A = this chain, B = another copy of it.
Amino acid sequence: MKKLINDPADVVAESLRGFAAAHADLVRVNADPAYVVRADAPVKGKVGILSGGGSGHEPMHGGFVGRGMLDVACPGEVFTSPTPDQMLEATKAVDGGAGVLHIVKNYTGDILNFEMAADLAREEGIEIEAVITNDDVAVQDSLYTAGRRGVGVTVLAEKIVGAAAEEGQDLAAVAELCRRVNAEGRTMGMALTSCTVPAAGKPTFELGEQEMEIGIGIHGEPGRERLPLASAKEIVERLAGPVIDDLPFASGDRVLAFVNGMGGTPQIELYLVYNELAQLLEARGITIARNLVGSYITSLEMAGCSITLLRLDDELIRLWDAPVLTAGLRWGA
């Protein structure tokens, strides 16, 4: 295992210390239980936005804490959802009296822990809404699965919902907006390599020199199918095709196109993928009104990418464009 770490057991805690030191102007970091909270929390009268999940997806979620996005993030151990007591403390830290929205990615562990946390927070008199993101079209949403995973749309939802909360929308409105963003977005991802969980010390799966995994999640889970390595053009077709067909996105739609790197893929490749995606969407009459290209929701050092499309309207564009001031996303501020 080749990583810039000390003891594998300390990776999350030490990385959080570095994050705290680097971004003291934006956030405070609580060590135990672990959460990253915006420096000026709680903001009185503002709906608090909380998200959380396993670590290893950086900059998500800690990198999205700050003005115009998340109020607080709960990092779990690597690829392991955080715990209810942690979420409870984090919720209390950002409760400005207007309630707190929990943005939960659809994984059994996250769901179970967030359910318990919401119960605990409500017992303490804090109004909670929980919205589950489940945008991964690689998974069938059926009785035979735990439902679709929450992946790339989570990042977009956090930005848009964060802007709405910042401008004073109430908890019900913000939760409804979050559900709408989730409903209008779809994602699919792929991997060229596995990643290695530090505590495990070896790759979660093995891929041959000429193989790729299509339909992966963000936890080093194997995907839906293993295929021979293909060109970027073919890969984009394999990812964007199912994404488009699922909603479906139609000619005339305006979208936010999000090409996400899984952590080990350099920008030169991500922009090359974006080039293919832009051509494919243009051929289908779909207009890219906004875009995001970079590694925002990652799987440690995995090489690969995901493609997310989000159908936009004027309201979503306005909220996307609103100022955001976080370590991971920043504009207009």
Chain B residues near A4: list those with CB within 8 A: 192, 232, 235, 265, 269-270, 272-273, 304-305
Contact with B along A32-56 (1 / 0, CB 8 A): 0000000000000000000000011
Count of chain A residues with Cβ under 8 Å from any Cβ of B?
A: 59
A269 in contact with B235 (CB, 8 Å):
no
Q: Which residues of B contact A304 (CB under 8 A)?
A: 4
Decide if B232 touches A6 in the complex (CB within 8 Å): yes
Is B264 touching A264 in the complex (CB atoms < 8 A)? yes
Contact A268 B58 (CB under 8 A): yes
Which one of A11-19, A95-103, A104-112, A143-151 is at the B interface? A11-19
The answer on a CB contact under 8 Å between B18 and A271 is: yes
Docked Cα-Cα span, A6 to B129, in Å, equals: 45
Can you tell how many copies of this chain the complex includes?
2
With most chain B CB atoms within 10 A of its CB, the pick from A22, A59, A263, A332 is A22
The answer to whether A5 and B269 have CB atoms under 8 Å apart is: yes
Chain A binding site: helix, strand, loop or mixed by DSSP? Answer: mixed
Q: For A333, list chain B residues within 8 Å (CB).
A: 331-332
Q: Is the CB of A6 within 8 A of B231?
A: yes
Supposing A192-B4, A269-B3 touch, asked if A275 and B15 sit within 8 A by C-beta, the answer is yes
Structural contact, B272 and A2, CB atoms closer than 8 A: no
Question: B residues within 8 A CB of A17?
Answer: 275
- Is A275 in contact with B231, judged by CB distance below 8 angstroms? no
B contact residues around A193 at 8 Å (CB):
2
A301 to chain B, nearest CB (A): 5
Q: Which listed residue, B22, B232, B291, B300, touches A268 by the CB 8 Å rule?
A: B300
Q: Is the beta-carbon distance between A11 and B266 smaller than 8 angstroms?
A: no
Q: State whether the Cβ of A209 lies closer than 8 Å to any Cβ in chain B.
A: yes
A247 at the interface (CB under 8 A from B): no
Bound CA span A192–B270, Å: 22
Contact of A21 among B78, B209, B233, B274 (CB under 8 A): B274
> Bound complex: CA of A58 vs CA of B272, how far in Å?
12
Write the nearest CB–CB distance from A148 to chain B, whole angstroms.
24
Q: Can you pick out 14 interface pairs between chain A and chain B where the beta carbons lie within 8 Å of each other?
A: A2-B192, A2-B209, A4-B273, A6-B272, A15-B268, A15-B269, A18-B278, A21-B288, A22-B274, A22-B291, A263-B266, A264-B301, A265-B301, A266-B298
